[in-house]
Structure 1
Amino acid sequence: MTESVKILYTGKTHTSGGREGAARSDDGRLDIKLSSPGSAGAGTNPEQLFGAAWSACFIGAMKKAAAKQNIVLPEDVAVDAEVDLAMNDDGYFLRARLNVNLPGVPREAAEAVVAGAHQTCPYSKMSRGNIDVAIRIV
């Protein structure tokens, strides 16, 4: 059976030099230096980029989930992401925590919005079953 897929957008980047290199998008909007976590390098690192991308996507998913549930989100909704680069006997792996701030939203409503977002956010889907994720409403 063939699955019908509608491509909404394709992000294109070129990265060279690995963690001590640079990355640039084809449209030039992203043009950054990279450096290893904890190093004195001048750039950002993949874990920070992943956290920023996931947070932005998750906020979008929360907005959609809130609209479906007739819940009004505040303008200052925010997500603080923490992405760990870790290592054990099997090698490197990631862990993540999303700390969601929904000021003024009742706890039960916030939990419903976050649960809905975690089910639909593409980054949450990608991570599910692959990395340990904790989501907390702060």
Structure 2
Amino acid sequence: MTALAQRVASPTDKVIYTAQTHTTGGRQEGVARSSDGQLDIKISPPGSKRPGTNPEQLFAAGWSACFEGALGLVAQRKKVTLPADLAIDAEIDLHLDSGEFFLGARLNVSIPGVERSVAQELVNAASKVCPYSKAVSGNVEVEYNVV
């Protein structure tokens, strides 16, 4: 296990934000609301015709947004200007094997106008900075693709 995967909060760490949600009904007929009222959604299983999103879509949206922020941070440190049309397509796979569920993921990162080798360097660095990437490291098979 890497040092990143072993990182846990200590009493001296500064908490900069705590997200709070209340969820009932799980993925079958769920409802999730945030404490500040900004999130109020219905949850339904993948492929369902019922209104709502599923946990995998929420994870993909959160991770890709966080990863874009990490890219911005590492680009700033390396003095690279990112284009306004930078985009991340996140794909989260829900697997079932021998009755056990697990996730797989691909982050497909488009950084138009940035040399491919520089873009790959930024993506590699961002994967070590992004809290979502650190959280899944060693637990989820992830591909980071520059497209």
2:98 to 70, 89, 97: 89
1:25 to 29, 34, 37: 34
By how many angstroms is 1:124 displaced? 0.2
Match of 1:130 in 2: 139
2:73 to 60, 64, 70: 64
CA separation in 2, counterparts of 1:12 and 1:130? 24
Q: Note if 1:7 corresponds to 2:15.
A: yes
By how many angstroms is 1:131 displaced? 0.6
Amino acid in the other structure paired with 1:11: A
Amino acid in the other structure paired with 1:101: S
CA separation in 2, counterparts of 1:15 and 1:47? 15
Amino acid in the other structure paired with 2:88: V
Q: Note if 1:49 corresponds to 2:43.
A: no
1:19-47 C-alpha deviation (Å, 9 max, x unpaired): 12110000100000000001111000000
RMSD: 1.0
CA separation in 1, counterparts of 2:12 and 2:139? 25
Match of 2:3 in 1: none
Q: How many residues align?
A: 137
Per the alignment, in what secondary structure is the counterpart of residue 99 of structure 1?
strand
Q: Which runs of 5+ in 2 are unaligned?
A: 1-9
1:114 to 111, 115, 123: 123
Amino acid in the other structure paired with 1:4: T
CA separation in 1, counterparts of 2:105 and 2:50? 23
Q: Which runs of 4+ in 1 moved over 6 A?
A: none
CA separation in 2, counterparts of 1:83 and 1:122? 17
CA separation in 1, counterparts of 2:65 and 2:17? 16
By how many angstroms is 1:90 displaced? 5.7
Per the alignment, in what secondary structure is the counterpart of residue 66 of structure 1?
helix
CA separation in 1, counterparts of 2:34 and 2:99? 33
